[in-house]
């Protein structure tokens, strides 16, 4: 019995939680044009040694002349390098924001999330389950944010399963979800 066998649609709860954390972490990143987005990411990355390491880890190796041309907008990075810059930016941003995000989510007794079950609109009526959305207060975010910040999917899945296991017999219904809502 695999998820989606009868037509249900959704993602694993851990991946939905990572998406919700991304929405919260990158909430202020609204740029008008793709060029502005790449320039801001490049500025963020070139402000520290950690940024240069993140670019190297993403496979970006350029000389100082090319970097200056990108920063002055005399030249634009190729599409492949733009995608790598975005990856490096997100990786560094997650690492940098993780401590503050953990403090914010743990403050005041934790943060309440809303768990919306998998979409079963395409499932035949005889196989469809009635699963309401749930809310849950997560009191300790340390493990979840630590796994999210380094992109460790295995630890994030384990943290999600540990988090929702206390939903008693309903926990299996929320292993795959359509959306996780959390305050931004």
DSSP string, 23-62: HHHTTT---SSHHHHHHHHHHHHTTSHHHHHHHHHTT---
Q: Are both 49 and 91 inside the same structural domain?
A: yes
Q: Is the residue at 2 inside a domain?
A: no
Say yes or no to pLDDT of 93 above 80.
Answer: yes
Q: Is the residue at 6 inside a domain?
A: no
Query: How many domains does the chain contain in total?
Result: 2
How much is the average pLDDT of 162-173? 69
Q: Are both 91 and 177 inside the same structural domain?
A: no
Q: Is the residue at 122 inside a domain?
A: yes
For residue 117, what are the CA distances in angstroms to 72, 114, 179? 47, 10, 7
How large is the greatest C-alpha to C-alpha distance in the chain, in angstroms? Answer: 65
Q: Are both 58 and 93 inside the same structural domain?
A: yes
Query: For residue 66, which of 78, 79, 53 has the smallest C-alpha distance?
Result: 78
Whole-number pLDDT of residue 27: 80
How much is the average pLDDT of 1-10? 67
* E-state strands within 8-160: 11-12, 111-117, 134-138
Q: Are both 72 and 124 inside the same structural domain?
A: no
Domain span including residue 127? 11-26+104-181
Q: Are both 67 and 93 inside the same structural domain?
A: yes
Whole-number pLDDT of residue 122: 74
Q: Is the residue at 1 inside a domain?
A: no
Q: Are both 115 and 91 inside the same structural domain?
A: no
Question: How far is Cα 99 from Cα 58, in angstroms, rounded to an integer?
Answer: 23
Whole-number pLDDT of residue 120: 73
Whole-number pLDDT of residue 101: 95
Handedness of CA 63, 50, 26, 162 (dihedral sign): positive
Say yes or no to pLDDT of 53 above 70.
Answer: yes
Q: Is the residue at 3 inside a domain?
A: no
Q: Is the residue at 5 inside a domain?
A: no
Say yes or no to pLDDT of 1 above 60.
Answer: no
Q: Are both 17 and 40 inside the same structural domain?
A: no
């Amino acid at each position: 019995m695999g998820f989606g066998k009868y037509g249900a649609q959704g993602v694993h709860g851990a991946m939905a939680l990572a998406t919700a954390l991304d929405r919260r972490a990158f909430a202020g990143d609204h740029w008008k044009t793709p060029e502005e987005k790449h320039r801001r990411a490049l500025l963020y990355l070139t402000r520290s040694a950690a940024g240069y390491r993140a670019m190297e880890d993403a496979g970006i190796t350029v000389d100082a002349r090319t970097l200056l041309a990108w920063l002055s907008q005399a030249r634009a990075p190729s599409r492949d390098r733009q995608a790598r810059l975005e990856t490096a930016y997100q990786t560094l941003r997650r690492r940098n924001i993780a401590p503050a995000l953990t403090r914010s989510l743990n403050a005041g007794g934790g943060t309440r999330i809303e768990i919306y079950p998998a979409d079963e609109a395409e499932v035949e009526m005889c196989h469809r389950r009635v699963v309401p959305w749930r809310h849950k207060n997560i009191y300790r975010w340390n493990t979840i944010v630590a796994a999210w910040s380094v992109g460790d999917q295995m630890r994030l899945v384990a943290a999600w399963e540990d988090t929702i296991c206390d939903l008693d017999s309903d926990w299996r219904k929320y292993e795959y979800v359509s959306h996780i809502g959390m305050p931004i």
